[in-house]
A and B are shown apart, each in its own frame.
Chain A
Amino acid sequence: NAGVTQTPKFQVLKTGQSMTLQCAQDMNHNSMYWYRQDPGMGLRLIYYSASEGTTDKGEVPNGYNVSRLNKREFSLRLESAAPSQTSVYFCASRGQGGANEQFFGPGTRLTVL
């Protein structure tokens, strides 16, 4: 039982390059989330998926796209990376019920030069 896994752990991009961050969970959770965390700051919600086949914008969706590939996997794509997207990206999942806890992955540290 690995929980929430993210790949890659580290990535360096040049401005304008694209990449996809992968996230998978093995807890049979319906909801999945992508957050970004800038140095010394809290978490900001980028996109979330309440269930397989649905995705919704969070607080800071501009410059990102997501795909809920199936119940297990939720990917985040940067089409044209910008230095402002340098951050640590966390994926999380949550089971049924509004009060259930979120389980987080270990994060992807992305630097855009």
Chain B
Amino acid sequence: TQLLEQSPQFLSIQEGENLTVYCNSSSVFSSLQWYRQEPGEGPVLLVTVVTGGEVKKLKRLTFQFGDARKDSSLHITAAQPGDTGLYLCAPGGYQKVTFGTGTKLQVIP
């Protein structure tokens, strides 16, 4: 099992603020995925990062895969209430998919 630690565990911020959440492991991954889960729903894929050092942007969300492919970060610029949810990372390349511990984000209007 690939252990993925996410930090912070909880984050409550005002609308318009910037934030970064992290996904860390001691294992090397061929790829890593970020999902967002809104209250009462199942998780939905946001992005898959594949190459060490890769940066992907999805509107106000910026995802980075660490050079050594052991960690990843998600940066949100000018957070909005619609960004509220649980952010989960998961390794690609494995049949047995175990998720990170998750970061619960609340954006206050």
A-to-B contact residues, CB < 8 Å: 4, 31, 33, 35, 40-45, 48, 50, 56, 58-59, 90, 92, 94, 98-99, 101-102, 104-107
Contacts and interface: CB of A to CB of B under 8 A. Distances in A.
A101 B33 contact: yes
B104 A56 contact: no
Given A43-B43, A104-B42, A105-B42, A99 B98 contact: no
A4 to B, nearest CB: 8
Given A40-B104, A99-B31, A48 B43 contact: no
Contacts of A101: 33, 45, 48
B42 A48 contact: no
Contacts of B19: none
Given A59-B1, A104-B43, A42 B99 contact: yes
B14 interface: no
Contacts of A59: 1, 98
B97 A102 contact: yes
A48 B93 contact: no
B102 A98 contact: no
Nearest to B102: A42
Given A42-B86, A43-B43, A98 B99 contact: no
8 contacts: A33-B97, A42-B88, A43-B43, A48-B95, A59-B98, A90-B42, A99-B30, A107-B40
A98 B43 contact: no
B7 interface: no
